[in-house]
């Protein structure tokens, strides 16, 4: 399980930057504000870190 007080992308801790905690498939994770846009807008890019994340369904 991931350390929720550490960013899943850059591994910075809550001692270095603010970390937002979120749950996915029953597991708790943390992400920093620098990488939050990836989680919101391009979550599929995190598939290696969050297995099972759905592919983006962009509409034009």
Confidence of residue 52 (pLDDT cuts 50, 70, 90): confident
What are the backbone angles phi and psi of residue 6, rounded to the nearest 5°? -140, 145
pLDDT for the residue 4: 75
For 15-40, the DSSP string reads: TTS-EEEEEETTEEEEEETTTHHHHH
* Residue 10 pLDDT greater than 80, yes or no: yes
Q: What's this model's pTM, rounded to 2 decimal places?
A: 0.78
| Average pLDDT of the residues in 7-11 | 96
pLDDT in tens, 19-42: 999 999 999 999 999 999 999 999
53 contacts: CB under 8 Å, gap ≥ 6: 24, 43, 44, 46, 47
pLDDT for the residue 1: 45
Query: Residue 6, SS3?
Result: strand
């Amino acid at each position: 399980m991931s350390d929720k007080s550490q960013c899943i992308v850059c591994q910075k801790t809550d001692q270095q930057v603010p970390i937002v905690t979120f749950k996915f498939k029953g597991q708790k994770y943390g992400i920093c504000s620098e990488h939050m846009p990836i989680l919101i807008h391009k979550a599929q890019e995190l598939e290696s870190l969050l297995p099972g994340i759905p592919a983006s369904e962009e509409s034009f």
